[in-house]
């Protein structure tokens, strides 16, 4: 099973980019973030024409997540539990059917800037709710993948210039500690299980020729339960997408699990 996560930075702006990518690469599952559109307005037909089942948790102009799957999607849920007042569309979860099902948890974690401040407080509170869901996923003892834009730079090696991010919500010690608390519950960072060192990034700013200088950061992650980690073949970053036409500021992160 080939699973790809892609923060597309707006489906209206990048519909052709995304459908062209799906035609070329044909992931079994695609998890999208920042679709920036309501459920009703999401352009389902182009994806269904490519053979995908579509589940969306959208929001007008902001946020929004979706799962596209060539296999049936079951047990679909939207929104991260723990705060009934939270209206931001940042979590979608579904079981991808088949002989060896996988629970896909697509997430778009809050950015948190400016920090400190209310947005940073919301980020940390959201991560506490995520930790509670992660604990429950482990209790289920099934193959599960929490994948998407985490908006966290876990380690200095995950930024070309970590010194430039010290006061940023993505790299502040509170964010990194919250990420570690989730990881250390018993999850595997799929990319770091296969690749080490600097130079592996999933995001480059549009400004200051960041991509040309490889001034990037790794903030898109896939955390696997032990049952999913046992099936991990490979994890890689499709960095070349950043140089294509009308690119997002993120590129796809891929995880391949044994069927």
Whether 83 has a binding-site annotation, put simply, is no
233 is in an annotated binding site: no
Catalytic status, residue 149: yes
Name the active-site residue from 149, 158, 168, 220: 149
DSSP-assigned letters across all residues of 54-114:
EEEE--SSS--EEEEESS-EEEEEES-TT-TT-----EEEEEEPSSS-EEEEEEE-----S
- CA–centroid distance for 32 within its chain: 7
* 122: annotated active-site residue: no
205 is in an annotated binding site: no
Interatomic CA distance for residues 88 and 81, integer angstroms: 12
- The one catalytic residue among 57, 211, 221, 250: 250
Structure tokens at 143: 């193959």
250 is in an annotated binding site: yes
Nearest to 257 by CA among 28, 54, 52, 66: 28
* Active-site hit among 28, 57, 108, 171: 108
Q: Determine whether the annotation assigns residue 113 to a binding site.
A: no
Assess whether the previous peptide bond of 116 is cis (omega < 30° from 0).
Answer: yes
Q: Which residue, among 75, 83, 81, 78, has the nearest Cα to 66 in the 3D structure?
A: 78
Region for 34 from its dihedrals, namely left if φ exceeds 0, alpha if ψ lies in -120 to 50, beta otherwise? left
Q: Is 250 a catalytic residue?
A: yes
> 214 a known binding residue?
no
Query: In this structure, is the dihedral angle defined by the CA atoms of residues 173, 93, 96 and 46, taken in order, positive or negative?
Result: negative
**Both tokens assigned to 163:** 């010194």
- Please identify every residue annotated as catalytic: 108, 149, 250
User: Which residues carry a binding-site annotation for Mg(2+)?
Assistant: 7, 34, 149, 151, 249-250
Annotated binding site: which residue ranges?
7, 34, 149, 151, 249-250
């Amino acid at each position: 099973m080939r699973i790809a996560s892609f923060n597309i930075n707006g489906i209206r702006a990048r519909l052709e980019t995304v459908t062209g990518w799906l035609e070329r690469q044909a992931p079994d599952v695609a998890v999208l973030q920042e679709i920036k559109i309501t459920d009703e307005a999401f352009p389902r037909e182009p994806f269904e024409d490519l053979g995908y089942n579509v589940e969306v948790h959208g929001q007008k102009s902001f946020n929004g997540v979706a799962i596209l799957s060539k296999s049936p999607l079951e047990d679909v849920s939207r929104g991260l539990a723990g705060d009934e007042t939270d209206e931001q569309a940042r979590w979608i979860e579904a079981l991808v059917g088949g002989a060896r099902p996988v629970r896909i948890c697509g997430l778009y974690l809050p950015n948190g800037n400016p920090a400190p401040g209310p947005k940073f407080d919301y980020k940390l509170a959201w991560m506490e709710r995520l930790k509670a869901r992660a604990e429950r996923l482990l209790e289920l003892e099934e193959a599960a993948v929490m994948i998407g834009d985490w908006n966290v730079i876990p380690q200095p090696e995950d930024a070309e210039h970590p010194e430039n991010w010290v006061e940023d919500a993505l790299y502040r010690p509170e964010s990194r500690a919250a990420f570690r608390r989730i990881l250390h519950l018993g999850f595997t960072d799929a990319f770091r299980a296969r690749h080490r060192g600097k130079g592996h990034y999933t995001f480059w700013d549009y400004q200051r020729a960041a991509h040309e200088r490889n001034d990037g950061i790794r903030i898109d992650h896939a955390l696997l339960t032990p049952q999913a980690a046992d099936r991990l073949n490979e994890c890689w970053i499709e960095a070349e997408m950043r140089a294509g036409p009308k690119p997002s500021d993120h590129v796809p992160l891929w995880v391949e699990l044994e069927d």
